[in-house]
A and B are shown apart, each in its own frame.
Chain A
Amino acid sequence: MDVTWYLVLSAFIFAIGVAGVISRRNPLVVLLCLELMLNAGNLALIAFSRMHGSEAGQVFALIVMVIAACEVTIGLGIIVAMYRNRLPIDIDEMSELRG
């Protein structure tokens, strides 16, 4: 099968993730969409790895998964902490960093 199909799928998933990050206001969903983007990247890595017949891309995918796991752990921790502080969690209300 041509690698193009995989790349198109990966691009679609990435676009869905980007659209979610930009348009959704619930931080949980934003986090999910971030995961989507990472996995889209993984898919592209593995596709290229098969195409070139080397294992390096798969190793990269594994590393990305580990990083994603860490990121989710921390991100969920932050979200839970915020949730305890104020109930309706809306990402637009957390704009304390405004310059």
Chain B
Amino acid sequence: MSATSYGWLVLAFPLAGTLIVALGWRVLPGRLPGWIATSAIFLAFVSSIGALLDLLDHSEDERQLVDTAWTYASTGNFKAGLTILVDPLSVFMCLVVSGVSFLIHLYSVAYMGGDRGYARYFAYLNFFVFSMLLLVLAGNFVILIVGWAFVGAASYLLISYWYRRTTAVAAGIKAFVINVIGDIGLVIAAFLILDNVGSLDFLPVFQNAHDHFATNDGTLVAACLLLLVGAFAKSAQLPLHTWLPDAMEGPTPVSALIHAATMVTAGVYLIARMHPLFELAPTAADVGAIIGCATLLFAGTVALVVTDLKRVIAYSTISQIGYMVMGVSFAAYGAGLFHLMTHAFFKALLFMGAGSVIGAMAGIQDMDRMGGFRRAMPFTFITFTIGAFALAGFPLFSGWFSKDEIIAFGLHRGGGYAVLAVLGYVGALLTAFYSFRMVFRVFFGDPAPEAAELERGHLAHGEPMNPTTGEPEDTDVGFPGPEHYVAERAWPMKAAMGPLALLAIVGGYLAVPGLDDVIEKFLEPTFQDSRFHDTAPTDGAEVLGLVAGGIVSIVGIGLAWVVYRRRPGTTARLVERFPRAHRFLGRKWYFDELYDSTVVRPFARFGGFGRRVIETDFVQGTIVGGATGAVRAGSSFARAIQTGYLRAYALLLLLGVAGMTLYFLLNGS
């Protein structure tokens, strides 16, 4: 089979899984829907490996394969079809997406076991994986936009999965609206490109771009900035990031899969895929790099003070994606995608660990109430700490290699990029600090009551509460189920976290400077037309960067140790000393308040005006009321005759007949 056939199979399995689970939810018993969904994703993963092996059989120049299933539209020179592009970049993304998705499905089989909407959950989850694979396999802008929108819809469905929680529904709407802003940017960008280049297929567009555009051509810069709007909305970069922390209202495996490992990296994929355009529009690429850098610093500071465990990880996701966006924007494609991969491993792992802890806390997510889970949950503790080490960029863990490769590339390009790269080190310090803030606050210290209970062999079982508002909840369909699961007691969760922990450690060895760079070499056919293809920091510079990164990481972890273990009261003193700064960070730089007052409330007021004046007074009062009034007035005579009295009808009939008779008599004579 050729690589494209494997590509179609990669799409077919999750779609089949979606349909089977969604249509058969009534008849599939017990945990069968979960297992069907999991095996569908596993088969997709196997097909991705098939595509990889087949691609490696081709010579390097022929590793960009295009296949069209059918043509949607064909007018003049323009053609749009259901086209997939199988090249190293898309196969790389397929492997990461389907691999991590498979493990998260496996985790969910146990974690969601007590939920009444079990089959619905897996139907959504499979649909998400299908959409994401469609997005990365797309061979033209049309399919890319379709996949892009499907992914947004799947994300909405899964954030609002517990649809009776008002906070979850509000979060879903917020995510969807912001994603649609990105969709619009992407669509307009595609129009601009079609208008100027005359094609929507990726390869012709990329090959012919410089015949149509001069460097920094105004139209192309506009198109690239619009592409960036799409990427920022999907990847939660400033200023479109506010939906991602709220998306933590969804179930924890959803946060792990969609809002950490795969969907939010779609923006990074988009920039990497569009690199020939961004290289022709360096201004737009610079905007991307600056925004990425600003985002990674901003999210890092917020993660220092947020106390909701899942939201800390969410802000760290925003921050890490900032690194990736910065990396691919300054042409460190291999490094950016390498960080995307390692991040998928350790961030999914961290969320799974957080899910296990939240299970042990009976649904509570506030770190202020956690503590001392080290002895009660040894497996979760070890895997979570591995994830935290990888996130912090501790030497020899995967995050160390990938993050510092991005920074080293920035330093190598020099100038403004070097400034951004140095700021990346500041971000790395924050990352190391907040990673171990989580570890120390959750797993060390005096055991929380729930941890003590678990040590005695009993899983805490509290009243179900909404973790955001603290209101009591139901356990019916549309609410979280009454049962909680921890990794120590559910083998599918362990089976998912074990391999991820291993990958979080060894994933980095795919690209050790001076020894091997499997990722760069494999991705080369996609990026060989890049004008920065030969620009790469020397091995020596990279090693130096790694040493610096390692020192920063150790300093950050040490600081966290001093603040949270050595002198436990430090944070309270800091909060007392700088109450305003703490409030500023705790309110997340007032972004939500800003959008609320500038966008949400004006629109709500406009909507209220529309409802009161336009809808009630104008439409209902004037148009509808006027039409009915006219008909009513016009028919009043006809209605007056219809008295309902039989004898009146008979009389009218008689008068009518008499009248006709008279008429004929008079006319006849």
Contacts and interface: CB of A to CB of B under 8 A. Distances in A.
A26 to B, nearest CB: 11
Interface string A11-44: 0000000100111010000100000000000000
Interface string A56-94: 000000000000000000000000000000000001101
Contact of B642 (A23, A25, A91, A99): A99
B642 A22 contact: no
Contacts of A91: 645-647
Report, as a range, how many residues of chain B touch the other chain: 10 to 19
Contacts of A92: 645-647
B644 A22 contact: no
Contacts of A98: 642-644
A95 B644 contact: yes
Contacts, number: 34
B346 to A, nearest CB: 77
Contacts of B644: 94-99
Contact of B650 (A21, A94, A95, A96): A21
Q: Give the interface size bracket for A toward B.
A: 10 to 19
Nearest to A96: B644
A98 B646 CA distance: 10
B662 interface: no
B65 interface: no
B654 interface: yes
B650 A99 contact: no
B518 interface: no
A95 B642 CA distance: 9
Contacts of A99: 638-642, 644
A22 B654 contact: yes
A6 to B, nearest CB: 19
Contacts of B633: none
B651 interface: yes
A36 to B, nearest CB: 13
A95 B643 contact: yes
A30 B648 CA distance: 13
B244 to A, nearest CB: 62
Nearest to A24: B647
A59 to B, nearest CB: 24
B641 to A, nearest CB: 7
Contacts of B651: 22
B642 A97 contact: yes
A18 B661 CA distance: 15
B646 A94 contact: yes
Contacts of B645: 91-92, 95
Contacts of B641: 99
Nearest to B643: A98
A93 B647 CA distance: 11
Nearest to A91: B646
Contacts of B647: 21-23, 25, 30, 91-92
Contacts of A25: 647
Nearest to A23: B647
Most chain-B Cβ atoms within 10 A of its Cβ — which of A92, A95, A97, A99? A99
Interface in B617-654: 638-647, 650-651, 654
Interface of B: 638-647, 650-651, 654
Given A22-B647, A99-B639, 4 more contacts: A21-B647, A23-B647, A99-B640, A99-B641
Interface of A: 18, 21-23, 25, 30, 91-92, 94-99
12 contacts: A22-B647, A30-B646, A91-B645, A91-B646, A92-B647, A94-B644, A95-B645, A96-B644, A98-B642, A99-B638, A99-B641, A99-B642
